[in-house]
């Protein structure tokens, strides 16, 4: 494909992704009340019956619904826009590369969903219950609806993306960008980067809740190193050996022809 054909293909895929997100947004907005109640469960369980979820502006509920519907459609429509991204990348790959990468696309979707589920079922309940129980007791909790829904939706999407770390490491390994040795050397620097990301992702950046994100990120990084060591390195070694074998065979055929 020429450069202009690549741009045309990119435009087509972007339009399809936009249509997918628009349709998904309409569905999520239609069920916005159910989705809001679902997202509010961890907060309501933490603050109890004595706490309240409030809105302070006349447009807060409408704005919260739009924001929440957008981030929800990104999550719920992820299989479809993942597919469009793959269809754009696929023509530029050799059949052997397609066979090698395809399993990691499926793993990427599973990891994305795992990140969302981790945020909802582990991070949110632990964070909210810890914060509510800390400090002065016997005070009424009043949480802003728009702030919570916006923050919770963004945090879940970001966690889904952060959980792609092992996949990204494997793909970079297949491209020859990283090796298990370079990843081990980067471990101490990325520990600091993950701490910064944990402070961004967590609803409130206190030490305990940051650790609930930082530790899984470090575990995912170690899983990525293991995957690069046991999947990427043997795969690249087989490719090199097969290439050497083909070259030797070609040379022997040339020598026999000359003889």
- Give yes or no: residues 187 and 147 share one domain: no
Question: Could you tell me which residues come within 8 angstroms of residue 76 by beta carbon, excluding any fewer than 6 positions away?
Answer: 24, 27, 28
- Give yes or no: residues 104 and 180 share one domain: no
- Give yes or no: residues 95 and 143 share one domain: yes
Domain that holds residue 185: 164-240
The answer as to whether 245 is a domain residue is no
The answer as to whether 246 is a domain residue is no
- Give yes or no: residues 27 and 144 share one domain: yes
- Give yes or no: residues 46 and 108 share one domain: yes
Is the pLDDT confidence value at 257 over 60?
Answer: no
- Give yes or no: residues 186 and 137 share one domain: no
The answer as to whether 108 is a domain residue is yes
- For residues 137 and 67, the model is more confident at 67
- Give yes or no: residues 144 and 227 share one domain: no
Using only C-alpha atoms, what is the Rg of the chain?
A: 24
Model confidence over 89-132: pLDDT tens digits? Answer: 777 777 776 776 777 778 888 888 888 898 889 888 887 777 77
| Global confidence as pTM | 0.74
Is the pLDDT confidence value at 71 over 80?
Answer: yes
Q: How many CB atoms lie within 10 A of CB 149?
A: 27
- Name the pLDDT band for 45 (thresholds 50, 70, 90): confident
State the total domains in the chain: 2
Last residue of a domain, one of 152, 172, 198: 152
Model pLDDT, residue 23: 93
- Give yes or no: residues 86 and 168 share one domain: no
Model pLDDT, residue 232: 82
Is the pLDDT confidence value at 5 over 80?
Answer: no
Is the pLDDT confidence value at 40 over 90?
Answer: no
Model pLDDT, residue 243: 62
Structural contact between residues 183 and 169, judged by C-beta atoms closer than 8 angstroms: yes
- Give yes or no: residues 131 and 191 share one domain: no
The answer as to whether 251 is a domain residue is no
- Give yes or no: residues 54 and 181 share one domain: no
The answer as to whether 71 is a domain residue is yes
pLDDT above 90 covers what percent of the chain? Answer: 6
- Give yes or no: residues 93 and 188 share one domain: no
The answer as to whether 118 is a domain residue is yes
The answer as to whether 145 is a domain residue is yes
Name all contacts of 75-78 with Cβ < 8 Å and 24+ positions apart. Answer: 75/116, 75/156, 75/157, 75/160, 76/24, 76/27, 76/28, 77/20, 77/21, 77/23, 77/24, 78/109, 78/112, 78/113, 78/160
The answer as to whether 225 is a domain residue is yes
Last residue of a domain, one of 124, 152, 180: 152
Residue-averaged pLDDT of the chain: 80
- For residues 41 and 59, the model is more confident at 41
Last residue of a domain, one of 104, 122, 152: 152
- Give yes or no: residues 88 and 190 share one domain: no
């Amino acid at each position: 494909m020429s450069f202009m054909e690549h741009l045309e293909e990119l435009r087509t895929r972007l339009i399809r992704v936009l249509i997918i997100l628009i349709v998904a947004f309409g569905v999520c907005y239609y069920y916005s009340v159910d989705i809001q109640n679902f997202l509010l469960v961890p907060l309501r369980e933490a603050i109890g019956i004595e706490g309240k979820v409030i809105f302070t502006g006349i447009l807060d509920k409408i704005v919260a619904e739009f924001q929440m519907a957008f981030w929800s459609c990104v999550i719920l429509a992820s299989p479809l826009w993942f597919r469009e991204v793959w269809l754009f990348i696929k023509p530029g790959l050799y059949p052997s590369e397609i066979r090698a990468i395809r399993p990691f696309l499926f793993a990427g979707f599973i990891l994305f969903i795992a990140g969302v589920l981790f945020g909802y079922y582990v991070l949110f309940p632990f964070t909210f219950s810890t914060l509510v129980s800390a400090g002065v007791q016997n005070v009424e909790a009043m949480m802003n609806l728009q702030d919570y829904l916006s923050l919770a939706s963004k945090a879940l999407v970001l966690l889904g993306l952060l959980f792609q770390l092992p996949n990204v490491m494997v793909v970079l390994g297949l491209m020859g960008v990283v090796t298990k040795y370079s990843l081990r050397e980067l471990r101490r620097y990325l520990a600091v980067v993950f701490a910064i990301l944990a402070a961004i992702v967590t609803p409130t950046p206190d030490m305990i809740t940051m650790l609930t994100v930082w530790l899984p990120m470090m575990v995912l990084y170690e899983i990525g190193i293991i995957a690069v060591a046991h999947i990427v390195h043997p795969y690249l070694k087989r490719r090199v050996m097969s290439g050497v074998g083909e070259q030797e065979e070609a040379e022997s055929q040339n020598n026999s022809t000359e003889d």
